[in-house]
A = this chain, B = another copy of it.
Amino acid sequence: MKQVPQRPGTIGRGIGGRQKLIDAALELASTTRSLASLGLREVTRCAGLAPNSFYRHFKDFDDLGLAAVEMLGGELRRGLRERRRRPSQSRKATGLLDSSNRLNPAAREMIRSTVGLVLDFVDEHPTAYIVGIRELHGSSPTMRKAVNHLLDAFAADMAEDVRALVDIPGLGTEALNEISRQMIRQMTFFSMDYLEQPGRRDAIRDEAERFIVRMFAGEMAMAEAKKPARKVAKRG
């Protein structure tokens, strides 16, 4: 897990130091306070290092935060993309809803597994996730921008996958991008609930799935409305 050199010059015995500092900072920031307000001595103490060792790896806490975002964000993105390519999802769903507005089982399965992917990662990296969300709304513009870009990257991934996996009639490119971004943002709330209310995990999963279905179904209805009145009623 932590054997990645991460930097060209980082070789030799000190590999643990950088990672220990990141881990300590995430641990402290997720339970105690925000990243920027952490004490340099506090973190190094928690990591079992001398205060000065911090300077060997990072310039300041924004620097540490960016490194953490880069590392964990990349890991999550890679993990998601890999798990999404699983054989069970290789067939392309024919549409989100059938002619009676019922949810296509294949599409439902895809939505369910995607929600599961995100929530599983959150469950496996709670401290990193909590700190990330905290910094998304935090006081450091640098960190806000970094986390925001990461979320946008997730949204772009998701939009691409949706386009590849299901065929939703009347779903334009911009609409898909917009919906993906809104879904990713809403997932930050669902994920936080998921961590804070372990007893409601199934309910939260279901709510997230309903949310996603609603978004796509709503977009389809809106797209229908823009076409000439061919659709629902028996417009002659």
Structural contact, B101 and A224, CB atoms closer than 8 A: yes
Structural contact, B137 and A210, CB atoms closer than 8 A: no
- Chain B proximity of A178: nearest CB distance (Å): 7
Structural contact, A221 and B185, CB atoms closer than 8 A: no
Alpha-carbon gap, A203 to B51, bound state (A): 48
Binary CB contact string for chain A from 198 to 236 against chain B (1 if under 8 A, 0 otherwise): 000000000100110111111111101100010111110
Structural contact, B214 and A33, CB atoms closer than 8 A: no
Contacts of A101 in B (CB 8 A): 221-222, 224-225, 231-232
| Further 10 A-B residue pairs, CB within 8 A, beyond A36-B37, A99-B233, A218-B218 | A29-B139, A33-B34, A33-B36, A34-B34, A100-B233, A100-B235, A101-B224, A101-B232, A134-B139, A136-B137
A/B interface sample: 23 pairs, CB < 8 A: A33-B36, A33-B37, A34-B139, A36-B37, A97-B225, A99-B232, A100-B229, A100-B231, A101-B225, A103-B225, A133-B137, A134-B137, A137-B137, A137-B192, A179-B214, A182-B186, A214-B219, A214-B222, A217-B217, A220-B221, A221-B221, A232-B233, A233-B233
- Chain B proximity of A135: nearest CB distance (Å): 9
Structural contact, B178 and A185, CB atoms closer than 8 A: no
Alpha-carbon gap, A216 to B215, bound state (A): 9
Alpha-carbon gap, A216 to B220, bound state (A): 12
* Secondary structure dominating the interface of A: helix
- Chain B proximity of A3: nearest CB distance (Å): 31
Binary CB contact string for chain A from 22 to 53 against chain B (1 if under 8 A, 0 otherwise): 00000001011110110000000000000000
- Chain B proximity of A132: nearest CB distance (Å): 10
Closest to A141 in B: B196
Contact of A232 among B207, B225, B232 (CB under 8 A): B232
Contact of A221 among B37, B97, B137, B182 (CB under 8 A): B97
Structural contact, B178 and A207, CB atoms closer than 8 A: yes
Contact of A32 among B139, B207, B210 (CB under 8 A): B139
